[in-house]
Amino acid sequence: MNISIVQSMINAIDKPAIFITPQYHILAVNDAYRDTYDMEVIVGQSKCFEISHNHTTPCDKHGEDCPIKECIKTDRTSSVVHIHNTQHGKTYCDILMKPVKDENGFTMGYLEILDKISFATVESDVNKMIGTAPSFKTLLTKVNRAASSEIAVLLHGETGTGKELVAKALHDSSRRSEKPFVVIECTGLNDNLFESELFGHEKGSFTGATQAKKGLIEIAEGGTVFFDEIADVPLSMQVKLLRLLETQCYRTVGGIKQRKANFRLVCASHKNILEMVERGEFRKDLYYRIAGFPISLPALCERKEDIPALAKHFLNLSEWKHKHFSKESIDKLCQYSFPGNIRELKNIVEQAALLSNEDIIEATDLPEQVFLGKSKKAEEQFDLMTLEQAEKTYLDNLCNSQSIAIDELAERLDISTRTLYRKLQKYGLKYE
């Protein structure tokens, strides 16, 4: 193995990168990698998990997926999201691991490239996504990959799961981050108001238009437009929105000059838009324009291990940041189902902090809804979930366990291949 050639390859990569053996020894490293970690890398001696995690054993011994083991198993490139101990504290990284082969096809070692995820953290930080749950890490992977692309993203999740925060993360991590991030609230807009807000209007174009007004599309020039609750766009306006997305052109209300639009599209909805398409309530052609890359946001009950960190985070942001939760109060929060998701958790934290007479917030300080609501333990006891959740879980299990052709899988499920593809796309799943 010619290490000098490998080192030259590593040096040409602008992200932190190393070349490692199947036994985890680092044989080549670039400056970006050295600058990321406090611990010195000794080529030929240091092991990757020692530098990135301060561990004495591999990552899979500490509850994380090991990308090298996946590469060895499949002989293919693999990726995984890890939490690394860097100079800036615990930081999320999207790791890409590639087998490096010689001219005879023999695997010489593995190239590891790190993509730092700046929009997420494991500790309290303003305007960042917080968590460590497996479903949260899956979300981070999808958001990080989508951010580097211009593909249209459709966020789907229950109310209060943080769709706008995810949309902002997509914008801030994209090449458009220096340009505007414009939010368009689609709920409650009638036809005329929607068109005027979107495209702007000319003076005198309608009663009350005493002066010209820029539309949000023009204001967002070069940036990102986030259509929140896109499913609420009136059916009569959907054709105009579709035309905008197809042609990247529009006219102001009352205007005759065609204008060029330049923006990245991100949409969100808590509704099942595919079901609305089937009912004729949402245009199919518009759906496929906005759903280039669907991302499902997990409900808080699907990431209950993140509740303590999120509760502490919201307490730190409040005027009662000197207070803290007792173990009993945290345990009670973790048993609650949180139908309002993260938004409800924030409200509960602030209410409990206000009700608490001491610096320690006890379980008795929590609002009564936490005690009256059905706990997760009760839900798990009866194994209750919605039909949509059951279908998503079942298909996810199939994607991870089956190796037959997708046509055969569809036949066994007694549905068409096209319907199966549609259902997989609906839940952001891939069958490989």
How much is the pLDDT for 47? 95
The tokens for 333 are: 């929060």
Domain check: are 359 and 404 in the same one?
Answer: no
User: Is the residue at 124 inside a domain?
Assistant: no
Q: Do 224 and 263 meet the contact criterion of CB atoms below 8 Å apart?
A: yes
Average pLDDT, whole number, for the chain? 90
Domain check: are 394 and 329 in the same one?
Answer: no
User: Is the residue at 122 inside a domain?
Assistant: no
> Any idea which of 9-18, 247-256, 265-274 has the lowest mean pLDDT?
247-256
Domain check: are 76 and 133 in the same one?
Answer: no
Provide φ and ψ at 57, rounded to 5°. Answer: -135, 160
Residue 82 in this model has a pLDDT that exceeds 50: yes
How much is the pLDDT for 411? 83
Over residues 182-189, mean pLDDT: 90
Label the pairing between strands 120-121 and 249-250.
unpaired
Residue 381 in this model has a pLDDT that exceeds 50: no
Percentage of the chain lying above the pLDDT 90 cut: 64
For residue 58, give the CATH number of its domain.
Answer: 3.30.450.20
Residue that terminates a domain, selected from 296, 313, 330: 296
Residue 176 in this model has a pLDDT that exceeds 90: yes
The tokens for 276 are: 């609305």
Predicted model pTM:
0.79
User: Is the residue at 112 inside a domain?
Assistant: yes
The tokens for 151 are: 């593909």
Domain check: are 241 and 153 in the same one?
Answer: yes
pLDDT band at residue 397 under the 50/70/90 scheme: confident
Tell me how far CA of residue 122 lies from CA of 3, 83, 130, in angstroms: 36, 8, 5
Domain check: are 328 and 394 in the same one?
Answer: no
Give the residue from 241, 224, 227, 219 showing the smallest Cα distance to 186.
227
The domain in which residue 330 lies consists of: 302-377
Kindly give, in sequence order, each residue whose CB lies less than 8 Å from that of residue 296, ignoring residues fewer than 6 positions away. Answer: 139, 156, 157, 392, 427, 428
Domain check: are 324 and 223 in the same one?
Answer: no
User: Is the residue at 197 inside a domain?
Assistant: yes
For residue 361, give the CATH number of its domain.
Answer: 1.10.8.60
Domain check: are 313 and 351 in the same one?
Answer: yes
Over residues 126-150, mean pLDDT: 94
Q: Report the number of distinct structural domains present in the chain.
A: 4
Side chain identity at residue 328, one-letter code = E
Residue that terminates a domain, selected from 117, 141, 169: 117
User: Is the residue at 233 inside a domain?
Assistant: yes
Domain check: are 76 and 161 in the same one?
Answer: no
Give the residue from 338, 332, 331 showing the smallest Cα distance to 298.
338
How much is the pLDDT for 374? 54
How much is the pLDDT for 370? 93
Domain check: are 306 and 290 in the same one?
Answer: no
- What is the widest separation between alpha-carbon atoms in the chain? 77
How much is the pLDDT for 128? 93
DSSP readout, 125-176? -TTSEE---HHHHHHHHHHHHHHTS---EEEE--TTS-HHHHHHHHHHTSTT
Domain check: are 135 and 185 in the same one?
Answer: yes
User: Is the residue at 431 inside a domain?
Assistant: no
Side chain identity at residue 30, one-letter code = N
Over residues 287-302, mean pLDDT: 96
Tell me how far CA of residue 373 lies from CA of 255, 338, 353, 377, in angstroms: 54, 8, 20, 11
pLDDT band at residue 379 under the 50/70/90 scheme: very low
Domain check: are 237 and 336 in the same one?
Answer: no
Residue 365 in this model has a pLDDT that exceeds 70: yes
**Helix, coil or strand: residue 202:** coil
Over residues 65-82, mean pLDDT: 89
Percentage of the chain lying above the pLDDT 70 cut: 97
Give the residue from 332, 397, 341 showing the smallest Cα distance to 367.
332
d(CA 172, CA 181): 9
Residue that terminates a domain, selected from 117, 138, 167: 117
How much is the pLDDT for 65? 82
For residue 275, give the CATH number of its domain.
Answer: 3.40.50.300
| CB-CB neighbours of 320 under 10 Å | 17
The tokens for 391 are: 């279908």
User: Is the residue at 228 inside a domain?
Assistant: yes
Over residues 402-419, mean pLDDT: 83
User: Is the residue at 283 inside a domain?
Assistant: yes
Domain check: are 135 and 107 in the same one?
Answer: no
